[in-house]
Structure 1
Amino acid sequence: MSSYAQHLSTVSARFDEALAATGYDAVIIYAGQPRYAFQDDNPYAYRVNPLFKYWLPLTHSPQSALYYKPGHKPVVFLYQPRDFWHAQVAIAAGEWQQHVDLVVIDDPLKIAAHLGDKLKQAVLLGEDFAEPASSWPVSQRNPQALLDYLHYQRAVKTAWEIDNLRIANERATRAHVAARDAFFAGASELGIQQAYLAAIDAREIDMPYNNIVALNEHGAILHYDIYQHQAPQPVRSFLIDAGAYYHGYCADITRTYTTQTNGFFAELIAAMDAKQRGLIDSIQVGQSYADLHVAQHHNTAQLLHDFGLMNGSVESILAQGYTRAFFPHGLGHLIGLQVHDVAGHLKNPQGELHERDPNHPFLRLTRTMEEGQVFTIEPGLYVIDQLLEPYAGNTDFNWQRIDELRPYGGVRIEDSVVASASGKHQNLTRDAFAKLGVR
């Protein structure tokens, strides 16, 4: 049996279990459709419903749908309009077609006509802001109990999903190398972004999120995506957080570079890289991811101490909560069909949530780590003036040293990791870089 066939068997079994547990008979999963800008006839970029691409490697088929009833083959309604205004997306022959009943339609209203009374027993999963989904006489629309069950299960990836994530990382690392080379050649933020996209033959709407391409102090803006047309003078540092898609699965990679061959910031990058690698090596299945996040705050306190950014001991830096001013975001998140994949705080399929620590409000993942989960590990350290303002005049802070770091913005390093009970975790990102001969 192929890995995709095994994946589809797992997805079917998960839906069977979730439907039985929540008391529903069947689902219709709508692929979604573009929304239009207010008072305009231009649509926003289309994003397929993640639950649709969970079954099928189709990401550009809006107004299509999948109907599934346990014990039966999925029925896929593939919308291919007769339209002389737009080019149709070519749907290549694929293995998925062997495992479904395929119905090609030229009008989305034909979905309801084909299913008839079956729609009344089905639950809709997906957007319903417009026709045809808004008029479907379904039994329920996006019931939270069913979504919780399905989302909880999605955290553990099948072999086919991990293969897709691996290829997404391989695509992204090729583009990262091109972006790095553009940086060292003196390109602007916009020029670096263009080099990234050219390396994988992609448009910006083909990215899983807006790439962060930040030179110098822009590296301290966590979701920076402005792209200046001129490179600053002098150029000191480069932080890039950028990904790629493959079959709808996401890569999310961050690297930090400097024009220095040695010195303060180069040493900080190397030290952060070592801490990140050590944290990945320490991962234990059965451990809470939140504990891993707290461990990184210990690492941050150590870095603040070692690089003279803070006065006092590592223990006092940590006890005062000072690390949160330099490392405000979470250590990472689940990744898969979505960059920030769902159910990061679910305790079980019934929708119970893990208790959140108010000291770490931006942590997206608090679940127990399980074999087959894929998540990012992305520690960072930045000079963010807004977060430092409350400490003005505090002599625990070495303001002179902080001022030295400020023009570089900050450092972040991010990999995607597949957890293994054996402790031999797969680092999809570093494996992909290694294939390119990059450390």
Structure 2
Amino acid sequence: MKNIFNDIVTIMHNDYSGHLDKKGCDNPDYFREGIDNLAKHNQLTAETFTSIVQDYLLDFQDKHIFFICSQTKNPTDRGFRVRCYNDKLYVIEATSEKNITIGDAFTSLEGQSISDLRRDHVRLLAPEIHQERENWAPILSLYRSGEYEDEQGNAHSFTFSSYEKTPPTSSYRVEAVPDNIARITMTDFNNPDAIVKMMTDNQKILDSSDNWIIDVRKNAGGSDASFHPLLQYIMPKEGIDLSSIGEEQLFNCTEESAKRIQRDVKQAMEVTKDEQALLFLRAFYSQWDKHKGKGFVKFNWHEEQLPSSFIKGQERPRNIVVLTDTYCGSAGDSFVECCKQSNKVTVIGRPTMGLNDYANLAVKRWNGGFQLYYPTSRLSSINQGKGMTGVGIAPDIYIPWSPEHLKIDVDMDRAMMYIKDTNFSGAQS
């Protein structure tokens, strides 16, 4: 396993697209010593090794880096999710844990206040600086109990249990709702064929609705090519050249990353049916092939057979609201950033996760089920201190998260009200 760790360090110092920005941020020798000590006492298992590597990777403060072991026991969590508000951890979802209620608020863990815990676990919470963006799941896993208040203000002690993580399920759906609104929900952009099917199955609703609400508040990302079919609706009728928006993106085209990316893109092409998505995959494969071994390079998409970057929209829908939150990231970030270029779109909610400063993940796999996912591209906005890490893509109308969101869908209500007000103003003018 020590050899695997050395491989990881090499990747993070050479193939990772943030290696120049973050040179010197890590201390691999400290973690090598920990691995040696565990091995000396016969305590180095797949689980302990995975934990050490994950701890090492925290130093890079990049939530687009993952290390997993597929052959260890299934990952566990506390069976519920929390969100921080005014130094309390509110239960926002209870999956496997049945002895906790949505709306209960943890005030401490094993007697330590939330503010003290934040100071103690700053590495786990970085790079976030706003409470509503913090991910407390890794911290909950370190404690055996907590103290919470129910909605009536009564205090309780609670002993945590561990449950097998509930795997995420993809959902792409369209609903017709009152006031000539089509409500579209997409939990990720992993499956371009499924998104095309969603559009085909609901063509009548999409074409006839003057107003859309697109909910990507819990969008886990995937491929930008997956949302391309939606752009003909989202962009204004006069059209926008999408190649002229956004920051310059450079790819760190090392030989090893090229091999890893091309292998996975080739596999994706074998199972993808949508021709437009295939065009993007072929172009991506081709650019990596042309530039492998050249280090940081700007891809020349004009060399490839791709759909025109100038997208002309349609008459309908006339108004689009995109709902966003911190749980929308990666390709979800890209989608929201793209939508904001259209004058038909208003983004409502909270800033996205902000993962795309370093993006386009490659995967290195080892025997034993170990896998490292790391970014290969870098945005030039980082040079001006305008990256999205820790801040995300800002909405046009910001709605701070509060416990009120647990009782009613504050964001959706605001979106419906906004559409009604916009339509009324348009009718009056």
> Which TM-score bucket, shorter chain as reference?
under 0.3
Flag the structure with more relative contact order, 1 or 2, with Cα contacts below 8 A and sequence separation at least 6. Answer: 2
Whose strand fraction is larger, Structure 1's or Structure 2's? 2
TM-score (norm 2): 0.27
